[in-house]
Amino acid sequence: MSKDATATVYARMLADPVFRSVLSETLLSPWDLTEEEKHLLLEELTAGTTDPYKSRVMNHIRSGVVPLSPVVASALGYAINKANGLPTGMLTTRGFTSGSAGCCGWGHPILPMLQGMLE
């Protein structure tokens, strides 16, 4: 559950500038986050990157073998694509609808690594 919570907070950070500007340790308290995850999310506020390969939060979310739930992965993919000016249309429905989303790496609840899908 912790990685889903981290991904949810990160997606909201990307999608909502107001949430990003008021995010603090207090706002993170109710979430199911480890201390490391809280630290990474707060650190991300100053880093400000939306590049999923440079973000320490994204590296943490991709680590391990536990996949994100489909809804959370879709929300995160949507937020990252939107922040980077990439297509988002196929990422708005539950279950990773196939179709023109082939241009994006979010067609699976396990996030893509540079070398391919982590299974």
**Residue 66 DSSP label:** P
pLDDT number for residue 71: 79
Q: Which domain holds residue 92?
A: 2-117
Q: Is the pLDDT of residue 70 over 80?
A: no
Query: Number of folded domains in the chain?
Result: 1
The answer to whether the pTM exceeds 0.75 is no
Nearest Cα to 40, choosing from 82, 68, 5?
A: 5
